[in-house]
């Protein structure tokens, strides 16, 4: 068992660390019913695959793109903020 001094030192160390950018919730809908889309981050890495209907993602703050694959191919840029965001995607 750690003693009180080492626990206090660990608590102080954690308190001194800079806050991390917390992920937040991105919600919305993907339409039409035949739609398929992926979400990519600023580096172009796929971070989610979306199915038609409502969705909910937890993404770190940053720039993203919803890339429609069906029924048409197009992109929609959006931001994930450090607060909840709604992004409705229409791939028609």
How do residues 39-68 score in pLDDT, each as one tens digit?
Answer: 999 999 999 999 999 999 999 999 999 999
pLDDT at 15: 54
CATH code of 21-90, in short, is: 2.60.40.10
**16 backbone φψ class: left, alpha, beta (φ>0; ψ -120 to 50):** alpha
Are 39 and 69 in contact, with CB atoms under 8 Å apart?
no
Question: What integer is the mean pLDDT of 28-49?
Answer: 97
pTM, rounded to two decimals? 0.74
What are the E-state strand segments in 1-92? 24-31, 36-41, 46-50, 53-59, 62-70, 74-80, 85-86, 89-90
**47 backbone φψ class: left, alpha, beta (φ>0; ψ -120 to 50):** alpha
């Amino acid at each position: 068992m750690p003693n009180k001094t080492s626990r206090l030192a660990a608590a102080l160390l954690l308190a001194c660390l800079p806050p991390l950018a917390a992920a937040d919730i991105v919600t919305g809908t993907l339409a039409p019913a035949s739609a398929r889309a992926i979400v990519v981050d600023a580096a172009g890495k796929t971070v989610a695959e979306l199915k038609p209907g409502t969705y909910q993602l937890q993404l770190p703050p940053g720039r993203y793109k919803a890339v429609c694959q069906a029924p048409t191919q197009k992109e929609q840029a959006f931001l994930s903020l450090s607060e909840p965001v709604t992004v409705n995607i229409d791939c028609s």
